[in-house]
Amino acid sequence: MRVLVTGAAGYIGRAVVAALHAAGHRPVAMVHTRGSAIPWAEDIRAADLLDQDGLRRAVVGVDAVCHLAGLGRARESVADPLRYLRVNTVGTIALLDAMAAADVPRIVLASTASIYGTSDRQPMTEQLADAPPHPYASSKLAAELAVEAQTHGGALSAVIVRLLNVAGGIDPDPTRLVPRVLAAAAKQSPLGVNGDGSAVRDYLHIADAASAFVACIEHFPTTGVVQRYNIGSGHGNSVLDVVAAAERVTGHRITLEHRPPANEPAFLVSNPSKALTEINWSPRHSNIDEIVRDTWVAGCAVP
């Protein structure tokens, strides 16, 4: 299948392009800036989500779209909510319009499990009520609703992927926890921790995230139907667990500096059983030690 990957120059996008190629598909990379090099892409097309003409050129001749382009920092979205809604929601609507004009009948939308807000210390299933806690989550939920609405016309089939905390490999965002912990280990500098470090999150290896998109491409629902899957490891690790894993992997002791607790959920862990059953996907690399080891070996935290 010829698959357009929006956001192909991004952290997850590059991995999805590689995974699609490895599975025998023909990935087409949509990037924001001309001249980007995307290994394994059959073609590279430059377009912006808010440029309708560029989008219409980008979708020509593809069978499906994996939509990963957008903004993804929750705290940043609080300070600039309209920008997040413009890019993540309006940009998705523009992409859907371009797909309709080109008769592209399938989309996999990258979304976020943060839409659930909190899970009250129970793994999150797809039946959990939506309660987006910040503009980023709201913008992704609105994008989901736009995709769902478009399927009702009968010309589109869609899969929505609600991802957990993707980590591992060459992570370009030094503000995420695993790179921050490894940077502290490499530099032997203190690590700032909100509260007592007991907040639990579900960490998903980048390779497992990419393979989920391939599984979705290969298990599309019938036309006019949208399916939603929680994609995570199914296991929770606290901040202190990640620190302990980093100490095991690097052999360095990490000193903690405790800050006031942040206003954030204490527990966000996915229940991926629906994806395991319906699209034959499973997380194979999302043990926290493997995630930390792969990030360390990739060298993204080494000064």
Please report the pLDDT score of residue 78 as a whole number: 96
Which two three-digit tokens encode residue 111?
């979304």
CA nearest to 88, candidates 107, 112, 56: 112
Please report the pLDDT score of residue 115 as a whole number: 95
Whether the CB-CB separation of 95 and 65 falls below 8 Å is answered with: yes
pLDDT at 110 over 70: yes
Q: Tell me the average pLDDT of the chain.
A: 95
Q: How confident is the model at residue 97 (pLDDT cuts 50, 70, 90)?
A: very high
Q: How far is CA 184 from CA 90, 244, 288, in A?
A: 38, 13, 17
Please report the pLDDT score of residue 91 as a whole number: 98
Catalytic residue among 11, 116, 136, 229: 136
Residue 122, classed as helix, strand or coil, is coil
Please report the pLDDT score of residue 112 as a whole number: 97
Please report the pLDDT score of residue 122 as a whole number: 84
Residue range 71-81, pLDDT digits in tens: 999 999 999 99
Q: For the residues 203-226, what does the mean pLDDT come to?
A: 97
Residue range 11-65, pLDDT digits in tens: 999 999 999 999 999 999 999 988 778 999 999 999 999 999 999 999 999 999 9
Which two three-digit tokens encode residue 148?
């769902």
Q: For the residues 216-226, what does the mean pLDDT come to?
A: 95
The Cα 64–Cα 51 span in angstroms is 19
Please report the pLDDT score of residue 119 as a whole number: 67
pLDDT at 68 over 50: yes
Q: For the residues 288-299, what does the mean pLDDT come to?
A: 95
Q: How confident is the model at residue 143 (pLDDT cuts 50, 70, 90)?
A: very high
Please report the pLDDT score of residue 162 as a whole number: 98
Residue range 198-207, pLDDT digits in tens: 999 999 999 9
Tally Cβ neighbours within 10 Å of residue 51: 16
* Domains of the chain by start residue, with CATH: 2-166+203-231 (3.40.50.720), 168-201+235-269+285-298 (3.90.25.10)
Q: How confident is the model at residue 8 (pLDDT cuts 50, 70, 90)?
A: very high
Q: How confident is the model at residue 166 (pLDDT cuts 50, 70, 90)?
A: very high
pLDDT at 105 over 70: yes
Which two three-digit tokens encode residue 126?
């797809």
Please report the pLDDT score of residue 301 as a whole number: 42
Please report the pLDDT score of residue 302 as a whole number: 44
The Cα 204–Cα 74 span in angstroms is 18
The Cα 108–Cα 1 span in angstroms is 13
Please report the pLDDT score of residue 262 as a whole number: 84
Q: For the residues 118-143, what does the mean pLDDT come to?
A: 92
Please report the pLDDT score of residue 265 as a whole number: 84
Active site residue 136: yes
Q: For the residues 120-142, what does the mean pLDDT come to?
A: 93
